[in-house]
């Protein structure tokens, strides 16, 4: 019977990371999966900063907002960036850098799921802190920070986050997000 891709079903934005380090070849495999994403005219606008050693990790951790305390335990923080001029910019104002970078991040997260890892994207960070810490130029968009690591002890989480680790998926029903054959204003 046709089924949804298992990694799409099992991927969750989980937060209980363990200390086990991620080997370089595993990280490279995740990044290889990421860059297999499609992009407009194959422009490949995604850029990744892998914070893997202690110094880089400490700098990246310093940008996390309080609600993302749990991501401090992740052994890798992946800073995902792009620049508008790295991708298609059409004359009618359509811009594709963010879209295509998101596709690459999804590939990476699915590969991470397949490898038994947690991969949790975050908006809750201060981009200016990252910009200063790593001398990231103005014009480069810091899109997300993805916490990467193996599962660990849920005891490090607050109660709300502990409950959400295996909570049911919450999604709008298709009827709210899909229209068939004719458009009506949402």
Ligand X SMILES: Cc1cc2nc3c(=O)[nH]c(=O)nc-3n(C[C@H](O)[C@H](O)[C@H](O)COP(=O)(O)O)c2cc1C
Query: Among residues 116, 146, 149, 151, which one has the least CA distance to residue 23?
Result: 149
Query: Among residues 89, 79, 75, 84, which one has the least CA distance to residue 143?
Result: 79
Asked if 122 is part of the footprint of ligand X (rule: CB under 6 A), the reply reads: yes
Task: Show the binding pattern over residues 77-116: x = contacts ligand X (CB under 6 A), - = does not.
Answer: ----------------------------------------
Asked if 6 is part of the footprint of ligand X (rule: CB under 6 A), the reply reads: no
Positive or negative, the CA dihedral 135, 75, 6, 33 is: positive
Q: Rounded to whole angstroms, how far apart are CA atoms 178 and 124? A: 29
Closer residue to ligand X, CB minimum distance, 28 or 124:
124
H-helix or E-strand containing 30? Answer: helix 24-35
Contact 37, 100 (CB under 8 A): yes
Q: Which stretch binds ligand X (CB under 6 A): 37-45, 80-88, 117-125, 133-141?
A: 117-125
For tokens 């990421």, the residue is: 34
Closer residue to ligand X, CB minimum distance, 42 or 167:
167
Closer residue to ligand X, CB minimum distance, 10 or 24:
10
Contact with ligand X (CB under 6 A) among 33, 39, 49, 68: 68
Asked if 121 is part of the footprint of ligand X (rule: CB under 6 A), the reply reads: yes
Contact with ligand X (CB under 6 A) among 7, 12, 44, 56: 12
For the CA atoms of the chain, what is the radius of gyration? 18
Closer residue to ligand X, CB minimum distance, 5 or 13:
13
- For 174, the token pair is 């298709």
Asked if 151 is part of the footprint of ligand X (rule: CB under 6 A), the reply reads: no
Q: Rounded to whole angstroms, how far apart are CA atoms 76 and 58? A: 10
Least distance (Å) from ligand X to the CB of residue 47? 17
Where on the chain is the footprint of ligand X (CB under 6 A)? 12-13, 68, 121-124, 144, 169
């Amino acid at each position: 019977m046709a089924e949804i891709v298992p990694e799409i079903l099992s991927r969750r934005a989980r937060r209980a990371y363990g200390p086990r380090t991620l080997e370089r070849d595993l990280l490279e495999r995740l990044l290889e999966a990421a860059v297999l994403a499609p992009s407009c005219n194959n422009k490949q606008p995604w850029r990744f900063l892998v914070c893997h050693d202690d110094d880089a990790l400490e700098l990246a951790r310093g940008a996390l907002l309080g609600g993302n305390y749990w991501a401090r335990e992740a052994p890798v923080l992946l800073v995902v960036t792009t620049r508008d001029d790295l991708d298609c910019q059409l004359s009618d104002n359509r811009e594709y850098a963010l879209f295509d970078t998101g596709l690459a991040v999804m590939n990476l997260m699915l590969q991470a799921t397949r490898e038994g890892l947690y991969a949790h994207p975050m908006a809750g960070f201060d981009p200016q802190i990252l910009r200063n810490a790593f001398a990231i130029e103005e014009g480069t968009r810091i899109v997300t920070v993805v916490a990467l690591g193996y599962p660990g002890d849920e005891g490090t989480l607050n109660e709300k986050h502990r409950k959400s680790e295996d909570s049911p998926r919450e999604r709008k029903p298709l009827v709210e997000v899909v229209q068939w054959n004719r458009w009506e204003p949402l």
